[in-house]
Amino acid sequence: MEFNLEKTIRPHLVGMKSYSASRPTDDKDQFILLDANENPFGNYNRYPDAENVQLKGKLADINKIDASNLFLGNGSDELIDLLMRIFCDSEKDSIMVFNPSFVMYEIYAKMNNVAVEKLQLNSDFQLIKTEFEEALTKTKAKILFLCSPNNPTGNSIDDLEFYIQSFKGIVVVDEAYIEFSPEESAVGLLKKYPNLIVLKTLSKAYGMAGLRIGVGISSPEIASFINRFKPPYNISSESQRLALQQLQNEKEQAENIQTILSEKEKLKKGLAENKEVVKIYPSDANFFLIEFKDAEKVYQKLLDANIWTSLRHPALKNCLRLSIGKPAENLKVLNVLSEI
Ligand code: PMP
C-alpha cells in the first residue's frame, strides 16, 4: 500500500526540531551528569530514561516486534491526544470514529479543535461496510480510530482488515482489551499497512493501570516521528522500573486473565437468570455491556451496596457497563441484583 508519512503529518512539524533528552544508557555510572539541571542529591533526583530502553526491550519481546516499532505514553490516553496533535490541524482536519466507542477519541479531538466524523454502528455494534465506503468518498479525516474489542460495547469488530485497507490516512486500532479476546492482534498487519498504528495498554490485562503505560506499535518511521514529539519524560522512572519488574510475572498474568475469563462466564450465567436484565451483549473484553429494564434503578441499587458501575455512554439507553471483578465481588453484584 502506498503511504507518504511526510504528507500525512501536520506540515509545520515535518522539519521541526524537537527537544532531545537522550543520555548514554550503558555505563551510566561513569558519567557525571550536569546536563539537565537536576539536583545531585535525593532518591528521585534523576529524570527517567526518555527513551524507555529497557521497558521497550521487554515490550518488543512480548509483542514479537523490534523496539524501533514502539512508542510509549503516560497511558494510551496520552498517545491518543498526541496522535491528534501530530496528524490533525486544528479547525481544518477531522478524525473518523464509530459510535458508540471510546469517548476519549472525541474528547481529545474537541480539545484540539479537530472535527469528528461519526459512523453509526448497527444493532450488533458492527460497522456497516456500505456506509463506511460512502463516508470514504467525502471524508477529510486524517485518522480512523477502530476500537476492537470496542469500549463500551465489548464486541470485536468483524473483518477489521477491510477497514484498515480502505482508509488512506492513519488507521489506529485500539487494542486495549485484546488480551482478553480470542481474536488476533492487528500487530501482524503492520508490515502490510505502513499507515497502521496499534495501541495497547498495560492498564487492563497486565493489571498495571496505576503505572500509566500506554504502548504504541507502528512502522519504525511513524514510531520515530512520535518519539521525537512525545513529552520527553512522560513515563516516570518508578513506572518504568515497576512495569519491567511486573512484566516478568508472565505466568501470574496469564493465570489472572484465565480467572477473569472464567469469572466472566459465571457472571454471565448469573445475569442471564436475573429478571431485571434485558440483554447481555457479547463481549470479548473484561466487561459486559448490559441492558436492564431500568438501568438507573439498578445503578442506584448497586451504588447503595457500594458497587460502582458505569452508566455513561450517551448513545446507549438503559445500559450499564460492568467490569469483571474478583469472585466475591461478582457474587455480590449477583446478590444485589437478585434482591431488586
Ligand atoms: N482505549 C480504550 C478502548 C480504553 O477503554 C481505555 C481505558 N478505559 C484506554 C484506551 C486508555 O487506557 P490507558 O490510558 O489506561 O492506557
Tens-digit pLDDT profile for residues 39-94: 999 999 999 999 999 999 999 999 999 999 999 999 999 999 999 999 999 999 99
Tell me what pLDDT residue 314 has.
77
Q: Give the separation between CA 239 and CA 55, rounded to whole angstroms.
A: 10
Judge whether 35 lies within some domain: no
Q: Give the separation between CA 244 and CA 57, rounded to whole angstroms.
A: 10
Tell me what pLDDT residue 40 has.
96
SS3 41: coil
Q: Quick check: bond before 100 cis, omega within 30? A: yes
Average pLDDT over residues 218-247: 97
Within 8 A by CB and 6+ apart from 287, the residues are 151, 152, 154, 321, 322, 323, 324
% of the chain residues with pLDDT over 90: 92
Average pLDDT score over the chain? 95
Residue 188, Cα to own-chain centre: how many angstroms? 17
Classify residue 257 as exposed, middle or buried by CB count within 10 Å of its CB (0-12, 13-18, 19+).
middle
Average pLDDT over residues 223-247: 97
Q: How many CA atoms lie within 13 A of 330 on its CB side?
A: 22
Q: Which residues line ligand 1 (CB under 6 A)?
A: 75-77, 102, 147, 151, 174, 176, 201, 203, 209, 214
278, three cell numbers: 434485558
CA–centroid distance, residue 332 to ligand 1 (Å): 26
5, three cell numbers: 508519512
Whether residue 205 is predicted with pLDDT greater than 90 in this model: the reply is yes
Average pLDDT over residues 179-189: 98
* Residues 166, 274 within the same domain: no
Tell me what pLDDT residue 26 has.
67
Nearest to 187 by CA among 275, 44, 24, 64: 64
Residue 206 pLDDT level (bands cut at 50, 70, 90)? very high
* Residues 148, 101 within the same domain: yes
In sequence order, the β-bridge partners of residue 56 are none
* Residues 237, 303 within the same domain: no
Using an 8 Å Cβ cutoff, are 126 and 81 in contact? Answer: no
Specify the pTM: 0.96
Judge whether 206 lies within some domain: yes
* Residues 124, 157 within the same domain: yes
* Residues 159, 57 within the same domain: yes
The bridge status of strand 277-280 relative to strand 287-292 is antiparallel
Average pLDDT over residues 152-157: 98
Average pLDDT over residues 230-257: 97
Q: Which domain-ending residue is among 222, 248, 274? A: 248
* Residues 185, 206 within the same domain: yes
* Residues 203, 111 within the same domain: yes
CA–centroid distance, residue 76 to ligand 1 (Å): 6
Encode burial over 288-319: b for 16+ CB neighbours within 10 A, e otherwise. Answer: bbbebeebeebbebbeeeebebebebeebebb
Domain holding 286, by residue range, is: 251-338
Tell me what pLDDT residue 17 has.
84
Tens digits of per-residue pLDDT, 285-317?
A: 999 999 999 999 999 999 999 999 998 677 788
Q: What are phi and psi of 178, to 5 degrees?
A: -60, -30
Tens digits of per-residue pLDDT, 16-42?
A: 888 777 776 667 678 999 999 999 999
Tell me what pLDDT residue 30 has.
87
Please tell me the residue having the least CA distance from ligand 1 atom 12: 76
Count the domains in the chain: 2
* Residues 121, 186 within the same domain: yes
